[in-house]
Amino acid sequence: ACDKLWIGCVKGEIFIVDTIQLICKTQLTTIVGQGGCQTMTYDTLQNRMLIGNRSGLITIWNTNNRQRLFEINLEDIYQKSYHMQQKIYKTEMLLNLRNQIEEPKTNFSSSTSPTDIISTLSNELKTIQIYDNLLFACYRD
């Protein structure tokens, strides 16, 4: 039988949880920033996890080899794009994340048409449970 593996986050620490044996298997990463882990999603087609926090930092990593691919700071992009001082804003921004051939940059323009990191067909996230300072997202049954 297949173990139920979950990605768990407590106070900014991301780890794998085996819900059959009731153990934390491996700590994957630490989320830096205000509020720890605020949201996460899993792309089953490319085996990538995207994790974000309240301060606007998005971390993308490969779940096969647990390698951190790159980080994107949405607040920096917002400030550079609109030349505004830091402020609290309630609007949402849409950011198209794409594969990068070179080192990560804040400039996402490209002359070619790269493949999307998040596929529109990626709807394999099984379950999300949110508690006070705890978030679980099931990515494998």
Among left, alpha and beta (phi > 0; psi -120 to 50; other), residue 78 is alpha
Total number of domains constituting the chain = 1
Dihedral sign of CA atoms 1, 45, 65, 96 in order: negative
pLDDT tens, residue by residue, 29-63? 666 666 666 777 777 777 887 777 777 777 888 87
pLDDT tens, residue by residue, 51-109? 777 777 778 888 788 788 888 887 777 666 666 554 544 444 444 444 444 444 444 44
Global pTM? Answer: 0.44
- Structural domain of 84: 5-140
Report residue 49: phi and psi, to 5°. -110, 135
DSSP codes, 64-125: TTTEEEEEEEHHHHHHHHHT--------------B--SSS--S----SS-PPBSS-TT----
